[in-house]
Amino acid sequence: MKAVRFRMKPVSLLMIVIMLTISGPIQSAFGAIIGTEELLNEAHPQNARAHLKELLARQDIQNALRSQGIEPDEAAARIDSLSNAEAVRAADHFQQLRAASGFLETFLILVFLTFLILLITDIAGYTDIFPFVTPMK
C-alpha cells in the first residue's frame, strides 16, 4: 500500500496542477432559457428600419415626399439616425394605418343614419317622404 501511495503522489500532484490550470482562467458559463419575447425584441429594431426603408423605396411615397419638399435620400438618412425605440414606434404606427379605408364604411353609415332619421320623422308625421309609411295619428 505504501508503494502505491508513493508512486501515485507525483501523478496526483500533476493532476491537481492540470485541473487548476484548466479551470482557473476559464470563466463559468451560465445557461438560461431565452424567451421568445427577448429574441423578438432583439431583432425588432432592425426589422423596423428595414420596413421603413421598404416603404421609402416605393415610388408613390417618394413622389409624396418630393411634393412636400423632402428628398428621399434625406429621409433615408433620417431613418438611419432614429433610435431603436423611435424606429419601432414609427414602423408600428405605419403598420397600424389602414390604406384608403374607412370611406365606404363611413358613407354607408351616414346613408343608413339619414334613412333612419327620415323614416322616424315620416312615421311621426313630420315629413312625407316615403310612400310606404303611414303616419301615426
Residue-wise pLDDT for 37-49, tens only, equals: 776 666 677 788 8
Residue-wise pLDDT for 93-113, tens only, equals: 877 776 656 677 788 888 999
| pTM flag (> 0.85) | no
Ramachandran class of 65: left when φ > 0, alpha when ψ lies in -120 to 50, beta otherwise: alpha
Write down the residue that cell numbers 358613407 correspond to.
Answer: 107
